[in-house]
């Protein structure tokens, strides 16, 4: 069975209560359940991991990527400065989809920079939890 890694970075464990006017009211467990249900229907296994630490994400990716077909990642604020995470992702030779709940281009200037965007297959920003499902769609139907 195809396996996808679903990764979330710092503070995304607080979804639901964290700045709901920006990030919405859906919790991370709810988002993961939505992705898992859609994946299961398509015969895909999801291995999910959240960490508030860059090294934790890197350890997980290094341990799991060889058995995975791709990565869906919302790196949180690491998006903007996480060079060690970038180096890790650059080395894994797997399709990576970068997901953000909020539209980074509508926010502070410093959020416009992503240190991983140029090594990702694609990027979804501003569509809320639906962004994760659309990212999964890429792994279900990579050709369209």
Catalytic residue annotation: 23, 100
Complex with ligand DQA: residue 75 or 95, whichever CB lies closer: 75
Query: Please, what is the minimum distance in Å from the beta carbon of residue 48 to ligand DQA?
Result: 15
Q: Is 34 helix (H, G, I), strand (E, B) or coil?
A: helix
For residue 101, give every residue at least 6 positions away whose Cβ sits within 8 Å of its Cβ, in sequence order, or none.
Answer: 15, 22, 23, 24, 74, 126, 127, 128, 129, 131
Binding site for ligand DQA (CB under 6 A): 11, 74, 76-77, 79, 100-102, 111
Query: Please, what is the minimum distance in Å from the beta carbon of residue 125 to ligand DQA?
Result: 7
Q: Is 142 helix (H, G, I), strand (E, B) or coil?
A: coil
Q: How many CB atoms lie within 10 A of CB 138?
A: 18
Complex with ligand DQA: residue 3 or 13, whichever CB lies closer: 13
Query: Please, what is the minimum distance in Å from the beta carbon of residue 1 to ligand DQA?
Result: 28
Query: Please, what is the minimum distance in Å from the beta carbon of residue 38 to ligand DQA?
Result: 19
Complex with ligand DQA: residue 45 or 128, whichever CB lies closer: 128
Complex with ligand DQA: residue 3 or 26, whichever CB lies closer: 26
Q: Which two tokens stand for residue 22?
A: 């920006």
DSSP characters over 44-113: EEEEEEE-SSHHHHHHHHHHHGGG-SEEEEE-TTHHHH-HHHHHHHHTS-S-EEEEESS-GGGS-GGGG-
């Amino acid at each position: 069975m195809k396996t996808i890694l679903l990764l979330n970075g710092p503070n995304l464990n607080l979804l639901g209560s964290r700045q709901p006017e920006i990030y919405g009211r859906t919790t991370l467990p709810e988002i993961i359940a939505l992705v898992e249900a859609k994946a299961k229907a398509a015969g895909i296994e999801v291995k999910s991991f959240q960490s508030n630490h860059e090294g934790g994400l890197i350890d997980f990716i290094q341990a799991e990527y060889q058995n995975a077909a791709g990565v869906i990642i919302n790196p949180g604020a690491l998006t903007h400065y996480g060079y060690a995470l970038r180096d890790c992702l650059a080395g894994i030779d797997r399709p990576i989809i970068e997901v953000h709940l909020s539209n980074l281009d509508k926010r502070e200037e410093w959020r416009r920079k992503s240190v991983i965007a140029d090594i990702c297959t694609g990027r979804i920003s501003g569509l809320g939890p639906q962004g994760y499902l659309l990212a999964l769609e890429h792994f279900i139907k990579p050709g369209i």
